[in-house]
């Protein structure tokens, strides 16, 4: 169990550092929205093959919840994963903040890759990158997480080809980011949202609830679809 928790910590740390780091250190002016999308996706691909054999590379509380709902994970292990994932995300965001702080014109008001909804505040920089509403953000996060977890549970079932699982999962996350960065900055992962929000403070923390509730709902629906064998491949 210790190895699994260590892997989940490292994996989530890496996802936040590289994914959010692409937005903070390079951003729209250097690599653009597509570059940010690929950074998140490639981080997932790397960790899927790097730590997947150890922990399954959930690196996302919503994925663990989906696996639990599908009957693939015991409750105690899921709770342990959640703790490791959240701690990894917080530390990853902290390291990103230390790196970003080395630029003379950087401040937390510039953001740390946190998620948001509604009109973007000119002072705190909190809100949707494209000024999308709470309703738009909620719908996107539920649906996108549902799709993401369906892919994860689908490519990791027994009849699937495991050597391609990491690639399929990473490419799905790229597509989700290309579509949704302007809506919420894309969460689909409560830990990924928690890490930056802890460091940014109250403006981000006040909107954090959506990026916990919506991904969990989407993941739960995906897990249920596999639990009732709606999306489980017939074997034999």
CA distance 62 to 129: 23
65-76 tens-digit pLDDT: 999 999 999 999
28-47 tens-digit pLDDT: 788 999 999 999 999 999 99
- Band of pLDDT at residue 232, cut at 50, 70 and 90: confident
Whether residue 78 lies inside any domain: the answer is: yes
Instruction: Count CB neighbours of 96 within 10 A.
Output: 25
Tokens 């900055």 belong to residue: 185
Q: What is the pTM for the complete model shown?
A: 0.95
Tokens 């000119």 belong to residue: 122
> Helix, strand or coil for residue 231?
coil
Classify residue 229 by its DSSP letter.
T
- Report the pLDDT value the prediction gives residue 22, as an integer from 0 to 100: 96
| Contacts of 101 by beta carbon, 8 Å cutoff, 6+ apart | none
Whether residue 23 lies inside any domain: the answer is: yes
Query: Which range marks the domain in which residue 93 is found?
Result: 2-103+111-227
Is residue 125 predicted with pLDDT exceeding 90? Answer: no
- Report the pLDDT value the prediction gives residue 235, as an integer from 0 to 100: 60
Whether residue 236 lies inside any domain: the answer is: no
Number of domains observed in the structure of the chain: 1
Sign of CA pseudo-dihedral 231, 49, 28, 215: positive
In this prediction, residues 71-91 reach a mean pLDDT of 97
Structure-derived torsion over alpha carbons of residues 212, 39, 113, 130, reported in degrees to the nearest 10? -90
Whether residue 181 lies inside any domain: the answer is: yes
- Report the pLDDT value the prediction gives residue 63, as an integer from 0 to 100: 98
- Check if the beta carbon of residue 182 is closer than 8 Å to that of residue 130: yes
Tokens 């994914």 belong to residue: 19
Whether residue 83 lies inside any domain: the answer is: yes
CATH number at residue 42: 1.20.1080.10
Whether residue 19 lies inside any domain: the answer is: yes
Whether residue 128 lies inside any domain: the answer is: yes
Whether residue 234 lies inside any domain: the answer is: no
18-22, 58-62, 73-77, 228-232: least confidently modelled range: 228-232
- Report the pLDDT value the prediction gives residue 1, as an integer from 0 to 100: 82
135-172 tens-digit pLDDT: 999 999 999 999 999 999 999 998 777 788 999 999 99
- Report the pLDDT value the prediction gives residue 110, as an integer from 0 to 100: 86
């Amino acid at each position: 169990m210790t190895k699994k928790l260590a892997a989940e910590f490292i994996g989530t740390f890496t996802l936040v550092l590289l994914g959010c780091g692409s937005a903070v250190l390079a951003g729209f002016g250097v690599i653009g929205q597509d570059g940010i999308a690929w950074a998140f996706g490639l981080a997932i691909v790397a960790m899927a093959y790097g730590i997947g054999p150890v922990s399954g590379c959930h690196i996302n509380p919503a994925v663990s919840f989906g696996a639990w709902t599908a009957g693939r994970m015991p409750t105690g292990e899921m709770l342990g994963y959640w703790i490791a994932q959240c701690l990894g995300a917080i530390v990853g965001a902290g390291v990103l903040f230390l790196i970003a702080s080395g630029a003379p014109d950087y401040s937390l008001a510039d953001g740390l890759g946190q998620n948001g909804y509604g009109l973007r505040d000119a002072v705190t920089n909190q809100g949707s990158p494209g000024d999308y509403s709470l309703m738009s953000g909620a719908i996107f996060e539920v649906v996108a997480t549902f799709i993401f977890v369906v892919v994860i549970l689908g490519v990791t079932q027994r009849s699937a080809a495991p050597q391609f699982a990491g690639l399929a999962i990473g490419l799905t996350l790229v597509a989700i980011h290309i579509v949704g960065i302007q809506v919420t900055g894309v969460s689909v992962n409560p830990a990924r949202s928690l890490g930056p929000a802890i460091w940014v403070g109250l403006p981000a923390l006040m909107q954090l609830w959506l990026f916990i509730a919506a991904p969990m709902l989407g993941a739960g629906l995906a897990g249920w679809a596999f639990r009732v064998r709606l999306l489980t491949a017939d074997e034999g």
